[in-house]
Structure 1
Amino acid sequence: GLMGSLLVGTSFAKSLALSLNIPLLDVHHMHGHILAHFIDDGQEKPSYPFLALTISGGHTQIVQVNSSSNLVVLGTTQDDAVGEAFDKSGKILGLGYPAGPQIDRLAKLGNPRKFEFPVPKAPDLNYSFSGFKTAVLYFLQRETKKNEDFIKENLEDICASIQYTLIKILFKKLEKAVIQTGIKQVAIGGGVSANSGIREHLKSMESKGWKTFIPPFEYTTDNAAMIGISGYFKFLNNDFAGLDTTASPRIHM
Structure 2
Amino acid sequence: MFRSRTIRWLTSLGGRVSKVCSRRNYRVLAIETSCDDTCVAVIDRKSRQEPPVLLAHLKETLDSEKHGGIVPTKAHLHHQIKVGSLVQQALRQTSSERSIDLVCVTRGPGMPGSLSGGLDFAKGLAVAWDKPLVGVHHMLGHLLISRMHTNGSSPRYPFVSLLVSGGHTIFVHSKSISEHEILCNTIDIAIGDSLDKCAREIGIKGNMIAKNMEKFINENLEEAQSQTVDMSLPNPLRNQNGRMNVQAFSFAPFLTAVRTAMAKNKMEKCTKETRSMAYQIQEALFEHLITKLKLVISLRPDIFECTRHLVCSGGVGANRRLQQKLRDELSFQFQEFHYPEPSLCTDNAVMIGWAGIEIFETLGIKTELGVTPVKKWPLSDLLNVPGWIST
User: In terms of mean alpha carbon deviation, does 64-73 or 202-211 score higher?
Assistant: 202-211
Task: Give 4+ residue runs of structure 1 displaced > 4 Å after superposition.
Answer: 41-44, 148-151, 249-252
Distance 1:48 1:89, change over 3 A: same
User: Residues 56-95 of structure 1: matches in 2 within 5 Å?
Assistant: 56-95=165-204
Q: Residue 159 in 1 paired to residue 278 in 2?
A: yes
- The equivalent residue for 2:370 is 244
- Structure 2: give runs of 5+ residues left out of the alignment: 1-74, 77-111, 239-244, 380-391
Out of 147, 154, 161, the position equivalent to 1:38 is 147
Distance 1:8 1:153, change over 3 A: closer
Contact 2:237 2:246 in 1 (8 A): no
- The equivalent residue for 2:163 is 54
- The equivalent residue for 2:252 is 130
User: In terms of mean alpha carbon deviation, does 170-179 or 129-138 score higher?
Assistant: 170-179
Q: Residue 119 in 1 paired to residue 235 in 2?
A: yes
- The equivalent residue for 1:191 is 315
Q: Residue 228 in 1 paired to residue 353 in 2?
A: yes
Contact 1:57 1:82 in 2 (8 A): yes
Measure, in 1, the Cα distance between the counterparts of 2:265 and 2:172: 39
- Shift of the alpha carbon at 1:29? 0.5
Q: TM-score, normalised by structure 1?
A: 0.88
- Shift of the alpha carbon at 1:43? 11
Aligned length: 250
User: In terms of mean alpha carbon deviation, does 104-113 or 49-58 score higher?
Assistant: 104-113
Contact 1:39 1:225 in 2 (8 A): no
Once the two structures are aligned, what percentage of the paired residues are identical?
29
- Structure number with higher strand proportion: 2
Q: TM-score, normalised by structure 2?
A: 0.59
Measure, in 2, the Cα distance between the counterparts of 1:234 and 1:58: 23
| 3-state secondary structure, aligned to 2:183 | strand
- Shift of the alpha carbon at 1:194? 1.1
Contact 1:190 1:220 in 2 (8 A): yes
Measure, in 2, the Cα distance between the counterparts of 1:214 and 1:8: 29
The amino acid across from 2:215 in the alignment is R
- Structure 1: give runs of 5+ residues left out of the alignment: none
Q: Which has the higher contact order (CA 8 A, sep 6+)?
A: 1
User: In terms of mean alpha carbon deviation, does 201-210 or 183-192 score higher?
Assistant: 201-210
- Shift of the alpha carbon at 1:204? 1.7
- Structure number with higher helix proportion: 1
User: In terms of mean alpha carbon deviation, does 33-42 or 153-162 score higher?
Assistant: 33-42
User: In terms of mean alpha carbon deviation, does 129-138 or 209-218 score higher?
Assistant: 209-218
